[in-house]
Chain A
Amino acid sequence: MWLLGLAWKNMWRNKTRTAITMAAIFFAVILSVLTSSLKDGIFDNLIKNVVSFYTGYVQVHKAGYWDEQVLDNGMKYDKSLDSRILAVSQVTGVSPRLETFGLIATDINTKGCMVVGIDPDREDKVTGLKSKVTKGTCIVPGDKKVMLSEGLALRMKAGIGDTVYLIGQGYHGATSAGKFEVKGLVRFGSPELNNQLLYLSLEDARELYSAEDLATSAVISLSNPGNPGLTADALKQQLGNEYEIMSWEAMLPDVKQHIETDSNSMKYIQGILYMLVSFGIFGTLLMMMVERKYELGMLVAIGMKKSRLCALMAIESVLTVLGGCALGILASIPVVYYFNQKPLRLGGEIASIYERFGFEAVFPTSISPDNFISQGIIVMVIGLILSMYPVYKVLTIDPVTSMKR
């Protein structure tokens, strides 16, 4: 117990030195937590933009649909298939869709777009559709109305209450054409989606494209989005070879690769950060050992066992490292929270590069506690490993040479 007391007193004998060491650890934790939170936040946002807001974590299609995405490759979607999908554990919701490309026209403009027939309530449960409505209201089954993504509405110069025409090819080559009123506008984070999506009810889409009981995909929400591959495997077993089950990683390989590449770059940045921190901490430890060389030699000379002296140095280091880590974690909470609420936004060329990947150049931080804990632990372990240096020096100390002036 007296060792602990002495260690505590020793920590504060040179307040500047202790403050420098603690500050090195403090800023290391903040930067490290911020980097890690930013990394996770960017990827979460990317996945949210592209995956959870539209693609879904897992999709069920008729086998072969993904390679040739036409209505003729759609699947019969009935209650039986619906309940078989929902029976798989981890599946929390399923939304059948009828998706095809078509032409949208107004009195002044015509453009290609992605037409998506949906069950609004089920789509809302899976992708949070209603939260994306920015103007007007959400469509309801059979109301013969549509919702346009904001970018598409802007290009078509169409607003709420305007009429749009849909022209395309229906099931088995049937010609399809229909007139619909714009009921709402929706906004997507992904510019690619925001510029081309049109929603109408599944019922109206089936009628428009002469595709009774048909769905091209069933979009699935999961209780554990972190591992969609597991649920995809379970669905494969449940539904058999007649269907293809795809996780978002398989559907969007570009996005997955982008995440992996960026994740690796972030790891290098964090590695460099850890190295800088290590040098910072080690520098102060070196300074401390030089300052206290004479005193440590004297303590061994008067009869303090090296094991006790090692324990004393280790306690001092642990207290300093723990203090720096704890303060760093506490201080990083408001910083990370601030950047979560007010994310960094990039503009110009960089933003357009990101948009090419299909998501907006917005970088929020993740407020997951895992980042605070894991980064705190990593910096603490670095600090504790470095604090082995004073212990090593004590073990090899020679009182005669240490006490030479």
Chain B
Amino acid sequence: MSDIVIDTHNISRVYNPTTIPIYAIRNVHLHIKRGEFTALVGPSGSGKTTLLNLIGGLDKPDEGQIFINGTDITTLSPGKLIDFRLHNIGFVFQSFNLIPVLTARENAEFIMLLQGKSKAERGTRMKQLFNQIDLEDKMDSRPGELSGGQQQRVAVARALASKPQFVLADEPTANLDSKSASNLLDIMDKLNREENITFLFSTHDQRVIDRARRVITLVDGQVATDTNVIDTSAPH
């Protein structure tokens, strides 16, 4: 298996191509290896969310190719793309987006239901995930009964339930207080270190940037800087 999980080849996304073209993303060439903990940063309108949407297969580039674990997702049909996302990509959104009528556990295992996993399989995975996000006692609570931080942890569990190739997190701490954000980052950091799960964040949050081990800065839809941070806490 290739070490590179995300590989974009000179992708561009242009709005209003026939009138006044606006490049949301311009010639972005990016490799993200398995196990990376990467933050995508930049000012508002720099193209962070657009790039995340392109990598997540939610949007298609006007130019270039995107390979996820060796599969060119720009050539997939919309139906196949949905299926690809289901099995390969985990999403964490800014505003949690849990289904309010389902319990925390039901929300997290929803992806596995879509994948057709057995009850036993789902049970084992949920137990493991809720243990990892430290919410075993809240499995049967509905989203309305959980704090923002707890809801976002459930959203992380949902993203990881399908054992994806990587997790895309769009401003995951934007709606959280400091303590909840720190707690969430601890969990994601732990999952990254212990289970080698690849995370790609788009963020403005300095707390996330401080934890990232690679920081890619976008300016006007182009990669301005791409820095590997020396990780002093990593086990040797």
A residues engaging B (CB < 8 A)? Answer: 2, 6, 9-10, 12-13, 294-295, 298, 300-306, 308, 399-400, 403, 405
A303 touches B100 (CB 8 A): no
With an 8 A cutoff between CB atoms, is B183 at the interface?
Answer: no
Query: With A and B bound together, what is the CA distance between A302 and B102 in angstroms?
Result: 16
Some 17 contacts from A to B, beta carbons below 8 A apart, are A6-B102, A10-B101, A295-B97, A295-B99, A298-B91, A298-B97, A301-B58, A301-B91, A302-B85, A302-B91, A302-B110, A303-B111, A303-B114, A306-B82, A308-B114, A400-B53, A400-B59
B82 touches A304 (CB 8 A): yes
Query: With A and B bound together, what is the CA distance between A100 and B101 in angstroms?
Result: 79
Tell me the nearest residue of chain A to B93, going by C-beta. Answer: A298
Add 6 more A-B contacts to A295-B99, A400-B53 (CB < 8 A): A6-B102, A300-B82, A303-B89, A303-B162, A400-B58, A400-B59
Among candidates A12, A294, A301, residue contacting B85 with C-beta atoms closer than 8 Å: A301
Tell me the nearest residue of chain A to B90, going by C-beta. Answer: A302
Tell me the nearest residue of chain A to B87, going by C-beta. Answer: A303
CB distance from A59 to the nearest CB of B (A): 67
Also in contact, A294 and B59, with CB within 8 A (given A302-B85, A305-B83): no
What is the predominant secondary structure among interface residues of chain A facing chain B?
Answer: helix
CB distance from B215 to the nearest CB of A (A): 25
CB distance from B115 to the nearest CB of A (A): 8
CB distance from B160 to the nearest CB of A (A): 12
A12 touches B97 (CB 8 A): no
Also in contact, A2 and B56, with CB within 8 A (given A295-B97, A301-B91, A303-B86): no
Q: Which residues of chain B have C-beta atoms less than 8 A from A6's C-beta?
A: 99, 101-102
Q: Which residues in window 135-191 of B have CB below 8 A to A?
A: 158-159, 162
Which of A298, A301, A306 is packed against the most chain B CB atoms within 10 Å? A301
B residues engaging A (CB < 8 A)? Answer: 53, 56, 58-59, 79, 82-83, 85-87, 89, 91, 93, 95, 97, 99-102, 110-111, 113-114, 158-159, 162
Query: With A and B bound together, what is the CA distance between A302 and B113 in angstroms?
Result: 12
A303 touches B83 (CB 8 A): yes
Query: With A and B bound together, what is the CA distance between A304 and B81 in angstroms?
Result: 11
CB distance from A129 to the nearest CB of B (A): 66
Query: With A and B bound together, what is the CA distance between A399 and B53 in angstroms?
Result: 10
Q: Which residues of chain A have C-beta atoms less than 8 A from B162's C-beta?
A: 303
CB distance from A397 to the nearest CB of B (A): 11
Query: With A and B bound together, what is the CA distance between A85 and B91 in angstroms?
Result: 83
Q: Which residues of chain A have C-beta atoms less than 8 A from B79's C-beta?
A: 305-306
A304 touches B101 (CB 8 A): no
CB distance from A176 to the nearest CB of B (A): 87
B86 touches A302 (CB 8 A): yes
CB distance from B40 to the nearest CB of A (A): 17
A403 touches B93 (CB 8 A): yes
Query: With A and B bound together, what is the CA distance between A302 and B83 in angstroms?
Result: 9
CB distance from A319 to the nearest CB of B (A): 14
A305 touches B82 (CB 8 A): yes
A302 touches B111 (CB 8 A): yes
Query: With A and B bound together, what is the CA distance between A12 and B89 in angstroms?
Result: 31
Closest 8 CB pairs of A and B: A303-B86, A9-B101, A303-B85, A298-B97, A13-B101, A399-B58, A400-B58, A400-B59
Tell me the nearest residue of chain A to B54, going by C-beta. Answer: A400
Q: Which residues of chain B have C-beta atoms less than 8 A from A304's C-beta?
A: 82, 86, 114
Q: Which residues of chain B have C-beta atoms less than 8 A from A294's C-beta?
A: 97
Q: Which residues of chain B have C-beta atoms less than 8 A from A306's C-beta?
A: 79, 82
Query: With A and B bound together, what is the CA distance between A295 and B98 in angstroms?
Result: 8
Q: Which residues of chain A have C-beta atoms less than 8 A from B93's C-beta?
A: 298, 403
Query: With A and B bound together, what is the CA distance between A405 and B94 in angstroms?
Result: 11
Q: Which residues of chain A have C-beta atoms less than 8 A from B113's C-beta?
A: 2
Q: Which residues of chain B have C-beta atoms less than 8 A from A10's C-beta?
A: 101
Among candidates B83, B95, B101, B114, residue contacting A12 with C-beta atoms closer than 8 Å: B101
CB distance from A305 to the nearest CB of B (A): 6
A301 touches B56 (CB 8 A): yes
Tell me the nearest residue of chain B to A298, going by C-beta. Answer: B97
Q: Which residues of chain A have C-beta atoms less than 8 A from B53's C-beta?
A: 400
CB distance from B48 to the nearest CB of A (A): 14
Tell me the nearest residue of chain A to B60, going by C-beta. Answer: A400
Q: Which residues of chain B have C-beta atoms less than 8 A from A405's C-beta?
A: 95
Q: Which residues of chain B have C-beta atoms less than 8 A from A298's C-beta?
A: 91, 93, 97
Among candidates B82, B95, B97, B102, residue contacting A303 with C-beta atoms closer than 8 Å: B82
